[in-house]
Amino acid sequence: MRGMAALTENQTKYRSVPMLRSVGGSIPRDVLGIIPELVARTTRMVPFAWTSGGVKVAMEDPYDTALHHIIEKRVGVPVIPHAASVDALDGALAQYGVDSRDDVRMLLRDARADDAIDALVRYAQANDAADIVMVFRRDGAAISARVDGFLVPVLTAPASAGILLLAALRQRIGQPHHMHRAAHRGTFRVAQGRTKSTDDSIAVRCAVMPAHDGERAVLCIANAALRQQSIETLGWPAHVLAIVRRALMRSSGLTVIVGPPGAGKTTALYALVRLLARDGTSTAAVEERIACDLEGVQQLEAQRGAMTEALRAILRESPAVIAVDALDDPEAVAMALHAALAGRRVIATMDVPDAATAQQRLRAAHVSSHVLAAVPYVIVVQRLVRAACPACVVARHLTETEQRVLAADAEAMTVFEAMEGVVMQTTVVPSVRGCDACGYTGYRGFACIAEALDSRAVDQGVDAPRASLLAAGMSRALAHETTLQEVLRVCRSGDRCAA
């Protein structure tokens, strides 16, 4: 009731916020679906009506601007907050149906930890969560899920249930009992339904690690698209594909895919490795964690601190193609450059935001300047933006407010001015509202925006890929593949990728 308390304390200051005693009957599904059930129940906010000025939302705390931002990011329209009573919120939340988390709570009460883990994974996948984070302390366990880049609380459990959950996770990943205070990683699978069949099951990567006040477990739900993506289906622009194909046709060289965490770098790495390995070329991969098996590829898992030793072991077998996921250690970077100079094709990923930072990493490696100059390399800068749902996207002109925001953004204006035939005042951009096909979020899946820099063009300026990345995003927005707000959120300087 913190929101009601805030309303009482500040009622003279915030009289403009309406008070809601009831949502007034059934909420339309296209409105209710704006916020996923998991987010609605944990944040205690429910959308209940569309208006010409935005979406009306019943909230426990109508002054929480962070929650306003979550909704505005999803639908691209302003939030009209309403302070709701406890009964009004409970009635609105009941329209989502039975709370799926009750199944997990019941399983924990019955000490069925294995079944509770399965139910949590299925629940997370149904809510499009990428990770499940469990924190185990002496006073209990807290479970959260990462949805749209935000960590959302799911439920809490007593300490006794937390002990059972942690023990079940350790058993599934094969952690020895005598190493219970050491970090350990492993994989397991969860059946889609309640049967134990592994057909079409959910792959989960789990890491258990000690923390200063207990222990922590992260369950990453593997993306099935990793097994299916090819270089043609990555969504790279034609000129980026051409640059990368030319680089892969060389007998040696370095190709680096860069971007912040969650930008789809591993998916792109797997697609390139699969392309090179399909003709029987000797290929080896060193990965921080193996996301899926690659046919015909020798895969070695190594932690970041052990990446250099893993590369040494791989190089002894003289593969023609070497792939390295998370190439961050300077010594490992130097070994990758020497391998490329020695006639091998090296493909790697780096957790850096842009091409300029990637080049700094290469220069900071323990190699002489003539070695770096002799190695041909290509840097692919990549981001993921949420794709507009084709079933509910509509066209509209830029509003005056959006035109003012763009006019104040020098980088965006430079891109607009470079687009031939595009005038801001008459530009038509997409807008999303939500429908059954996209779960009433307005977005369905992701679209990739990318730019590539060939080492032969370094002298032309390292800032070009960053500006071109925004141009690639603008092009997708003008093609109604995503929204302008989504492109600016991901590509504007200082922002990071949240997909």
The tens digit of pLDDT for each residue in 271-286 reads: 999 898 887 889 999 9
Measured CA distances, 364 to 337, 360, 369, 483 (Å): 12, 6, 10, 38
- CATH of segment(s) 2-96: 3.30.300.160
Residue 98 pLDDT > 70, yes or no?
no
- What integer pLDDT is reported at residue 11 of this predicted model? 40
- For position 90, what pLDDT does the model report? 85
Instruction: Give the single-character DSSP code of 15.
Output: T
Contact 44, 89 (CB under 8 A): yes
| pLDDT of res. 14 | 41
The CA–CA distances, whole Å, from 356 to 181, 347, 384, 461, 465 equal: 40, 18, 19, 9, 9
Q: How far apart are CA 58 and CA 92, in angstroms?
A: 8
pLDDT at 254 over 90: yes
**DSSP assignment of 405-464, as one string?**
HHHT-HHHHHHHHHSTT--GGG-EEEE----GGGTTSSEEEEEEEEEEEEGGGGGG-TTH
| Least trusted range by pLDDT, from 218-227, 247-256, 273-282, 394-403 | 218-227
Please tell me the predicted confidence (pLDDT) of residue 280: 81
pLDDT class of 5 with cuts at 50, 70, 90: very low
Between CA 270 and CA 226 the distance in angstroms is 7
Residue 117: the pLDDT is: 92
Burial 398-416 (b: 16+ CB within 10 A, else e): beeebeeebeebebbeebb
Q: How far apart are CA 281 and CA 249, in angstroms?
A: 13
Identify which has the larger pLDDT, 288 or 382. Answer: 382
Best-predicted range by mean pLDDT among 188-192, 268-272, 308-312?
A: 268-272
- As beta bridge partners, residue 187 has 205
* pLDDT on residue 179: 74
pLDDT of residue 1: 41
Angle at the Cα of 101 (from 146 to 190), degrees rounded to 5?
70
Q: Does the pLDDT value for residue 496 go beyond 50?
A: no
Highest mean pLDDT among 189-203, 231-245, 397-411, 419-433: 231-245
For 347-382, letters b (16+ CB in 10 Å) and e give bbbbebbbbbbbbebbeebebeeeebeebbbbbbbb
Per-residue pLDDT at 7 exceeds 60: no
pLDDT recorded at residue 436: 67
Beta-bridge partner residues of 129: 147
Reported as a pLDDT band with limits 50, 70 and 90, residue 499 is very low
Closest CA to 285 of 329, 334, 349, 366: 349
Averaged pLDDT, 224-243:
80
Extract long-range pairs of 477-481: CB within 8 Å, 24+ residues apart. 477/429, 477/430, 478/419, 478/422, 478/427, 478/428, 478/429, 480/388, 480/393, 480/395, 480/430, 481/387, 481/388, 481/430, 481/447
Three-state SS at 495: coil
**Residue spans per domain, the chain:** 2-96, 101-222, 227-491
Between residues 63 and 215, the one the model is more confident about: 215
Separation in Å, CA 45 to CA 91, 96, 221: 12, 12, 26
Q: Please state the rounded mean pLDDT for residues 54-58.
A: 88
Query: What is the model's pLDDT at position 74?
Result: 67
Percent of the chain at pLDDT > 90 equals: 19
- Outline where DSSP puts E strands in 9-128: 19-20, 45-51, 54-59, 79-84
Q: Which helix (H) or strand (E) holds 254?
A: strand 253-258
Q: What is the pLDDT of residues 434-484, one digit of tens each?
A: 776 676 778 877 888 999 988 876 544 444 454 478 888 888 888 888 988
Asked if pLDDT for residue 183 goes beyond 60, the answer is yes
Most confidently predicted of 93-97, 402-406, 408-412, 448-452: 448-452
Fold classified for 101-222: Beta-Lactamase (3.30.450)
For the cut 70, the answer to whether the pLDDT of residue 340 exceeds it is: yes
Q: What pLDDT score does 140 carry?
A: 92
> What 8-state DSSP symbol labels residue 196?
-
pLDDT digits (tens, 9 = 90+) for 342-382: 999 999 999 998 888 898 899 888 888 888 888 999 999 99
Confidence of residue 493 (pLDDT cuts 50, 70, 90): very low
pLDDT by residue (tens digit) across 8-51? Answer: 334 433 447 888 887 777 888 778 877 777 778 777 888 888 88
Phi, psi of 345 (to 5 degrees): -95, 125
pLDDT of residue 73: 66
Q: Which residue has the higher pLDDT, 150 or 30?
A: 30
Report phi then psi at 356, rounded to 5: -60, -45
Q: Which residues contact 5 (CB under 8 A, 6 or more apart)?
A: none
Q: Is 301 in a helix, a strand, or coil?
A: strand
> Residues 6 or more apart from 460 whose CB is under 8 A from it?
none
Q: What is the pTM of this model?
A: 0.64
Domains 2-96 and 227-491 alike in fold: no
CATH fold of 227-491 reads Rossmann fold (3.40.50)
Span 240-260, average pLDDT: 91
- pLDDT interval class at 164 (50, 70, 90): very high
Q: 388, 389, 441, 445: which is closest to 34 by C-alpha?
A: 441
Between 103 and 113, name the one with better pLDDT.
113
* DSSP β-bridge partners for residue 256: 348, 379
Q: What is the mean pLDDT of residues 89-95?
A: 85
The pLDDT of residue 287 is: 86
